[in-house]
Amino acid sequence: MKPSVLVCRAVFPDIVDRLREYFEVETNEADVVWSPAELIQHLQGKAGVFITGTQPIDTALLEACPQLKAVCSMAVGYNNVDLPACTAHGVLVSNAPDVLTETTADFGFALMMAAARRIAESEHFLRSGAWTKWSVDAFAGSDVHGATLGVLGMGRIGRGVARRGALGFGMKVIYHNRSHLDAATEAALGARYVSKEALLREADHLVIVVPYSAAAHHLIGAAELALMKPTATLTNIARGGIVDDAALAQALRDKRIAAAGLDVFEGEPAVHPDLLTVPNVVLTPHIASSSLPTRRAMANLAADNLIAALGLGPNKGKPPTALNPEVLA
């Protein structure tokens, strides 16, 4: 008898078909966002679960689903999963790093450029029918080429953003991270390590790519925004909650910074209402990794992990991107 698994959201049919070769699969074709209680209900009798970056996996769920052995996410971030609790319960957890790095870096750079050059503002102006003549200073934004790019969080995606800025646009790159990059990587990117305060003061364009944790909650708030140049932009492609959205909306309204580009929000899919009323922000619905090839690669990697974690397939017992492989010992 095949093990049973749950796929929490609607995903590509051919990838579900791959899973059906190994498992009895319950899907969510209606793409309903289940409550924690509903998720627990659907997980009864399931040995594994395919999740995205939003389903909460915590102690209460693990205790209610003692048969669960694998939690495999198609996201790279896993702040929705209590990893220590999963390890304590003998549940393998995996994520999907690497496959979305370049696409997310592309999008982060595009979002930063859109904020700098006031693309969303000017499009809304045009669509409203307000454009009646050309003028010298119409929607004059800030240059990206040759400017100072500040990267907060220099992991894979941060390095991808830095590489685009340095090599493609001749930007001066500064960064702050928990640790310094090695000298060769710094040299290749022309990147200079600075303190967080110096990063905020010096950057013309700040891009945030740190992972979310309790320590990173509101890492950028009113005090940090006050350190930035009034001509600077802020782009967040990390996680909601790292930026205090209320403080950011106020800083944008008061022109304490020039513009922002946001793909993630605290409490998403809800968006702080003040962000919807300021013109100098570009808002997108958490789509930085959303190219078709990348989303397929993310889903396939989650499927690979689920198959292997439950002891099946060519990689049985060796999930490619396990976060706690010690539970398989």
- pLDDT tens digits, 51-61: 998 899 999 99
Strand order in the sheet with 24-26: 24-26, 4-7, 48-51, 70-73, 92-94
The letter for the amino acid at 312 is L
Question: Contact, 303 vs 11, CB < 8 A?
Answer: no
Note the pLDDT tens digit of each residue in 122-153. 999 999 999 999 999 999 999 999 999 999 99
pLDDT number for residue 1: 87
The letter for the amino acid at 225 is L
DSSP string, 234-248: EEE-S-TTSB-HHHH
pLDDT number for residue 213: 87
Q: At what angle do helices 156-163 and 101-116 cross, to 10 degrees?
A: 50
On the question of pLDDT at 224 being above 90, the answer is yes
Q: Which residues contact 223 (CB under 8 A, 6 or more apart)?
A: none
Name the β-bridge partners of 73: 51
Q: Which residues are catalytic?
A: 239, 268, 286
Q: What is the three-class DSSP state of 220?
A: strand
Note the pLDDT tens digit of each residue in 254-310. 999 999 999 999 999 999 999 999 999 999 999 999 999 999 999 999 999 999 999
Question: Contact, 248 vs 271, CB < 8 A?
Answer: no
Question: Contact, 291 vs 282, CB < 8 A?
Answer: no
Note the pLDDT tens digit of each residue in 73-93. 999 989 899 999 999 999 999
CA atoms of 255 and 231, how far apart (whole Å): 9
Q: Label residue 329 exposed, middle or buried (CB < 10 Å: 0-12, 13-18, 19+).
A: exposed
Q: Taking all residues of the chain, what is their mean pLDDT, rounded to a whole number? A: 96
Question: Contact, 164 vs 109, CB < 8 A?
Answer: yes
Q: Tell me the average pLDDT across 154-170.
A: 97
pLDDT number for residue 329: 82
- State how far Cα 5 lies from the chain centre: 26
Residue from 63, 81, 25 nearest 307 by CA? 25
Secondary element (H or E) of residue 176: strand 172-176
CA atoms of 108 and 161, how far apart (whole Å): 7
Domains of the chain, with CATH numbers? 4-98+292-328 (3.40.50.720), 101-283 (3.40.50.720)
Note the pLDDT tens digit of each residue in 300-311. 999 999 999 999
